A and B are shown apart, each in its own frame.
Chain A
Amino acid sequence: EIVLTQSPVTLSLSPGERATLSCRASQSVNSYLAWYQQKPGQAPRLLIFDASNRATGIPARFSGSGSGTDFTLTISSLEPEDFAVYYCQQRINWPLTFGGGTKVEIK
């Protein structure tokens, strides 16, 4: 099973700041990595697929990069609605696995 390790666990930032979230895989997943956002009491929402492709309707301030085992989700300038938990997910091997999440909270 591929283990995805997200860091940091919690990121405390102010609106307008840049957020950099990391996801590291226990083995190469090529570029087969997705990112999701989840707000309290809501379902996850797809942000990025295949490492760097924004999903439909996702603002340009969200960007993804990386390949192999190291990936980054960047939010260029945090909006109030961006404070949430973010998960990465690999799709190269069964079982499909998620990272443990990074909570982006208001400082």
Chain B
Amino acid sequence: EVQVVESGGGLVEPGGSLRLSCAVSGFTFTDAWMSWVRQAPGKGLEWVGRIKSRTDGETTEYAAPVKGRFTISRDDSKNTLYLQMNSLQTEDTGVYYCTRSQCGRGCPGLNWFDPWGQGTLVTVSS
């Protein structure tokens, strides 16, 4: 059974930092390209960033609003994905989803997302 489980969300003051984790089972994490997608309260979905597998260089891509503040990393020995969030702003508030980026190496185009975790809530407020 595929499981994607995020953790680490919570309340943080503007300017603060938080690290989210995403534990994966049920598929070969070492081969997987992974993404974070967020959703502000009552709003739509926003892609945050992606990391390739170690085999494919572990390169990352980020959305403009988070570039330079957020860092995605992975620990294949723990089947875990991370999102380090620094200099948090109130507009970063939302549910953060971890998801597998489908259509990776050798596949034309970029990625769609499947499966998804249940999300973890990040609230940035003073």
Contacts and interface: CB of A to CB of B under 8 A. Distances in A.
Interface of A: 30, 32, 34, 36, 38, 42-46, 49-50, 55, 87, 89, 91-101
B109 interface: yes
Nearest to A101: B44
Contacts of A87: 44-45
B116 A98 contact: no
Interface in B70-123: 97, 102-103, 109-119
Tell me the interface secondary structure of chain B in the complex: strand
10 contacts: A32-B109, A32-B110, A36-B45, A43-B119, A44-B45, A49-B103, A92-B110, A95-B63, A96-B111, A100-B44
Query: Per DSSP, are chain A's interface residues mostly helix, strand or loop, or mixed?
Result: loop
Contacts of B35: 96
B113 A44 contact: yes
